[in-house]
């Protein structure tokens, strides 16, 4: 369990006061989850690296004005979410329709053929299948799943980070989990 001195928020405040080592500890703690969140969301390593760097540089620039108003991870993933939306807007894809609050595709997206229940004993192959299923999820649902799994955010924190309502987050997450379960063989 992290102590108060070791908490993300404390480290960020220390970095804001000029302690570069505090940033190094924060970075080591969150670089992997944040990078994987961005990588899964855009599926292109070069783009993910660019977005990843932008998020950290934005955090560095905001260090002196940082105050503890939410969990550090909520703030970090809000920066990442906003950068991702900017990326969608700038690209030809525009912002994915799944980010709409009342997206109708949630219940209508067909389960991919290759994701039909199979008797998979090999864990590695199951993992690969999970990643494929994840990539095929609508962006908003995938984001909810990743923020839960990578960022460890609660429903409320995911809602804050993505700027949506708690119920919307709950629906997206429920949909994502149901789809992944079915794709992996209907274990539940």
Positions that interact with other proteins (CB under 8 A): 15, 18-20, 23-24, 27, 31-33, 35-36, 39, 49, 52-53, 56-57, 60-61, 63, 123, 126-127, 130-131, 134, 148-150, 152-155, 170, 173-174, 177, 180-181, 184, 187-188
Q: How far is the CB of 130 from other proteins (least distance, A)?
A: 5
Question: Residue 130: which residues within 8 A CB-CB, separation 6 or more?
Answer: 180, 183, 184
In three state form, how does the secondary structure of the chain look?
CCCCCCCHHHHHHHHHCCCHHHHHHHHHHHHHHHHHHHHHHHCCHHHHHHHHHHHHHHHHHCHHHCCCCCCHHHHHHHHHHHHHHHHHHHCCCCCCHHHCCCCHHHHCCCCCHHHCCCCCCCHHHHHHHHHHHHHHCCHHHHHHHHHHHCCCCCHHHHHHHHCCCHHHHHHHHHHHHHHHHHHCCCCC
Q: Which is nearer to other proteins, 99 or 145 (CB)?
A: 145
- Of the pair 71, 81, the CB lying nearest other proteins is at 71
Residue 97 CB, nearest approach to other proteins (Å):
23
CB closer to other proteins, 34 vs 103: 34
Q: Which is nearer to other proteins, 115 or 153 (CB)?
A: 153
Judged by beta carbon, residue 118 or residue 149, the one nearer other proteins is: 149
Q: How far is the CB of 174 from other proteins (least distance, A)?
A: 6
Closer residue to other proteins (CB): 103 or 133 = 133
CB of 126 to other proteins, least distance (A): 6
Instruction: Please work out, in degrees rounded to the nearest 5, the angle formed at the alpha carbon of residue 163 by the alpha carbons of 160 and 168.
Output: 90
Closest CB 11 distance from other proteins, rounded Å: 12
Q: How far is the CB of 169 from other proteins (least distance, A)?
A: 9
């Amino acid at each position: 369990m992290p102590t108060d001195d070791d908490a993300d928020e404390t480290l960020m405040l220390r970095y804001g006061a000029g302690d570069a080592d505090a940033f190094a500890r924060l970075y080591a703690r969150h670089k992997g989850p944040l990078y994987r969140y961005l990588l899964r969301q855009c599926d292109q390593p070069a783009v993910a690296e660019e977005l990843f760097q932008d998020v950290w540089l934005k955090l560095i620039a905001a260090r002196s004005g940082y105050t503890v108003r939410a969990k550090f991870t909520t703030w970090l993933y809000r920066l990442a979410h906003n950068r991702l939306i900017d990326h969608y807007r700038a690209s030809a894809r525009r912002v994915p329709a799944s980010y709409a609050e009342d997206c109708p595709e949630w219940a209508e997206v067909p389960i991919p053929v290759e994701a039909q229940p199979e008797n998979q004993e090999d864990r590695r192959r199951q993992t690969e299948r999970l990643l494929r299923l994840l990539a095929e999820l609508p962006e908003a649902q995938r984001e909810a799943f990743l923020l839960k799994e990578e960022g460890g955010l609660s429903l409320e924190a995911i809602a804050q980070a993505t700027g949506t309502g708690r119920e919307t987050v709950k629906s997206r997450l429920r949909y994502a989990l149901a789809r992944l379960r079915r794709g992996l063989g209907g274990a539940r």
